């Protein structure tokens, strides 16, 4: 019945437009103005009509992931995330080995294997190679896997981001080539190459302007791949020191999380200008991950520092949020925000899995880490976290016990779907 109504309305509309007239269809008094607006609303055409937006504030889960990082949609993102947070947790967290195979046997390679994991529009999780010669694809519904690609067994890439149209962009680390992987047809391409410093970049960010920005490690130049012009470019202002990842905010800014750098650099993607936050970090592999929360804070997860910090975006203030129990070095590598409002740092050399509750800043020790290490992870549709095995020889996930769920639009959003 619904389809019949739309078809009838469309027929009437097009018949009424069959004889061109010079009348102004942007005039709200025009007899065709309302029928045209109604027709476009029913077919979910969100483009402007004479300056009027149709369905200009859709719910977060009706957005395409490529729309979620537009500033106009941030209120809907906030509302949806906070509603899921309020549902809290049910069962206690657990570590699940979801496949019996060993990672080494699957990729026919020695370790370390992977660093980082990304969600794709086809519903699968892609675990990004470190030394692995293959990309690991995991279906979170069936728990089946595939391997694909062919890379040299060296640290050519570290991390990346999902860009437009289901394409993953990998950050060059020990290679001059900028790789892309098309999840629609499992094809790998080289977008171009540049003369780069050794250990050039750590991860990438997909910005609202269509550019993929690469996070400087030993490089001092912020480079980007423009998905509109298909060209590689660079930001004028250089950086100093190394960074572990970047965090995109609703204001269109990327905050680079200091690893060896003692300062946080901030890139405004609206004009590619760079500013430096005044807070002084300890350097020496201090912070490894940054997580944006819907209350507009950026939580920073330590690598070898002892404290969890957050940046309040509205006040620009750095705040102490908690202390890691029994801290050490190389503790975590990556972190994932779950629908229960907790951040799960991914343990590298830290002996346990922990959670950090963004509601009250409670840090809880969950369970021991198996032999080996992980680096990064991706959130699944049931609130589970698929871990990227680095030296651990297992297929593992964290069952977070979240009662809420993040819809696909949020799981794919450039705010969180990156390393």
pLDDT value for 29: 60
Whether the per-residue pLDDT at 24 is higher than 80: the answer is no
The full set of domain ranges for the chain reads: 85-411
3-state secondary structure at position 10: helix
Inter-residue contact 1 to 18 (CB < 8 Å):
no
Q: Which two tokens stand for residue 64?
A: 């395409």
pLDDT value for 373: 98
Band of pLDDT at residue 8, cut at 50, 70 and 90: very low
3-state secondary structure at position 140: coil
Band of pLDDT at residue 14, cut at 50, 70 and 90: very low
Residues 6 or more apart whose CB falls under 8 angstroms from that of 292 comprise 247, 248, 249, 298, 337, 415, 416
pLDDT in tens, 173-222: 999 999 999 999 999 999 999 999 999 999 999 999 999 999 999 999 99
DSSP for residue 165: G
Burial class (CB in 10 A: 0-12, 13-18, 19+), 8: exposed
Q: Which two tokens stand for residue 215?
A: 């996070």
- Give all strands (DSSP E) within 10-89, no chain letters: 48-49, 52-53
Inter-residue contact 395 to 336 (CB < 8 Å):
no
pLDDT value for 20: 41
Whether the per-residue pLDDT at 18 is higher than 50: the answer is no
Counting Cα atoms < 13 Å in the Cβ hemisphere of 1 gives 0
Q: What is the dihedral of CA 133, 139, 406, 292, to 10 degrees?
A: 0
pLDDT in tens, 254-283: 999 999 999 999 999 999 999 999 999 999
Whether the per-residue pLDDT at 72 is higher than 70: the answer is yes
Tell me the pairing of strands 231-234 and 125-129: unpaired
Cα 12 from chain centroid?
44
pLDDT: which is higher, 15 or 383: 383
Mean of pLDDT values over 233-259 = 98
Averaged pLDDT score across all residues of the chain: 91
**Cis peptide leading into residue 112 (ω within 30°):** yes
Inter-residue contact 117 to 377 (CB < 8 Å):
yes
Whether the per-residue pLDDT at 15 is higher than 50: the answer is no
Inter-residue contact 165 to 106 (CB < 8 Å):
no
Find tokens 């004479």 and name the residue.
Answer: 50
Distance from first CA to last CA of the chain, Å, rounded?
46
Q: Which two tokens stand for residue 233?
A: 């470019």
Whether the per-residue pLDDT at 16 is higher than 90: the answer is no
Whether the per-residue pLDDT at 354 is higher than 90: the answer is yes
pLDDT value for 95: 98
Inter-residue contact 381 to 405 (CB < 8 Å):
yes
CA 93, CA 98: separation in Å to the nearest integer? 15
CA 363, CA 282: separation in Å to the nearest integer? 22
Cα 204 from chain centroid?
9
pLDDT value for 152: 83
- Measured between alpha carbons, how far is residue 349 from residues 209, 283, 329, 391 in Å? 37, 19, 7, 10
Q: Which two tokens stand for residue 60?
A: 């977060």
Band of pLDDT at residue 22, cut at 50, 70 and 90: very low
Whether the per-residue pLDDT at 291 is higher than 80: the answer is yes
Edge-to-edge strands, sheet with 94-99: 94-99, 395-399, 384-389, 374-379
DSSP for residue 279: P
pLDDT value for 47: 47
pLDDT in tens, 219-235: 999 999 999 999 999 99
CA 155, CA 166: separation in Å to the nearest integer? 24
pLDDT value for 110: 83
Residues 6 or more apart whose CB falls under 8 angstroms from that of 3 comprise none
CA 76, CA 62: separation in Å to the nearest integer? 10
pLDDT value for 88: 97
pLDDT: which is higher, 36 or 273: 273
pLDDT in tens, 115-172: 999 999 999 999 999 999 999 999 999 999 999 988 888 898 899 999 999 999 999 9
pLDDT value for 31: 62
**pTM tops 0.85, yes or no:** yes
Q: Which candidate, 392, 387, 386, 385, places its Cα nearest to that of 349?
A: 392
Inter-residue contact 279 to 318 (CB < 8 Å):
yes
- Please tell me the CATH code under which domain 85-411 is placed: 2.130.10.10
Band of pLDDT at residue 39, cut at 50, 70 and 90: low
């Amino acid at each position: 019945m619904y389809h019949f109504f739309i078809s009838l309305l469309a027929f009437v509309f097009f018949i009424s437009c069959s004889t061109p007239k010079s009348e102004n269809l942007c005039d709200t008094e025009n007899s065709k103005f309302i029928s045209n607006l109604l027709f476009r609303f029913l077919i979910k055409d969100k483009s402007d009509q004479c300056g009027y937006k149709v369905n200009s504030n859709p719910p977060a889960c009706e957005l395409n992931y490529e729309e979620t990082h537009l500033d106009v949609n941030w209120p809907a993102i906030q509302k949806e995330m906070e509603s899921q947070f309020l549902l809290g947790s049910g069962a206690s967290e657990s570590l699940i080995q979801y496949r019996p195979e060993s990672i080494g046997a699957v990729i026919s390679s020695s370790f370390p294997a992977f660093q980082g994991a990304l969600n794709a529009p086809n519903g699968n999780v892609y675990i990004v190679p470190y030394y692995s010669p293959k990309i690991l694809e995991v279906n979170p519904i069936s728990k089946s896997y595939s391997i694909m690609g062919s890379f040299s067994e060296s640290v050519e890439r570290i991390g990346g981001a999902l860009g437009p149209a289901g394409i993953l962009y990998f950050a060059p680390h020990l290679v001059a080539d900028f790789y892309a992987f098309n999840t629609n047809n499992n094809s790998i391409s080289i977008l171009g190459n540049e003369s780069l410093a050794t250990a050039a970049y750590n991860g990438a960010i997909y910005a609202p302007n269509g550019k993929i920005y690469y996070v400087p490690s030993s490089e001092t130049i912020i480079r980007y791949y423009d998905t509109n012009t298909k060209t590689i470019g660079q930001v004028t202002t250089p950086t100093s020191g190394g960074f572990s990842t970047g965090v995109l905010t609703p204001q269109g800014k990327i905050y680079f999380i200091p690893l060896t750098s003692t300062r946080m650099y901030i890139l405004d993607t609206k004009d590619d200008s760079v500013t430096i936050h005044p807070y002084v970090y300890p350097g020496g592999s201090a912070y490894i991950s940054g997580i944006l929360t819907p209350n507009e804070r950026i939580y920073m997860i330590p690598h070898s520092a002892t404290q969890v910090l957050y940046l309040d975006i509205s006040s620009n203030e750095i705040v102490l949020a908690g202390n890691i129990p029994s801290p050490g070095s190389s503790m975590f590598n990556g972190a994932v925000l779950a629908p229960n409002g907790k951040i799960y740092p991914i343990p590298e050399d830290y002996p346990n899995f922990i959670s950090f509750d963004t509601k009250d800043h409670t840090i809880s020790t969950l369970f021991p880490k198996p032999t080996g290490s992980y680096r990064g992870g991706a959130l699944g549709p049931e609130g589970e976290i698929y871990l990227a095995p680095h030296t651990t020889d297992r297929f593992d996930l964290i069952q977070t016990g979240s009662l809420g769920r993040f819809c696909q639009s949020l799981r794919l959003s450039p705010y969180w779907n990156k390393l």
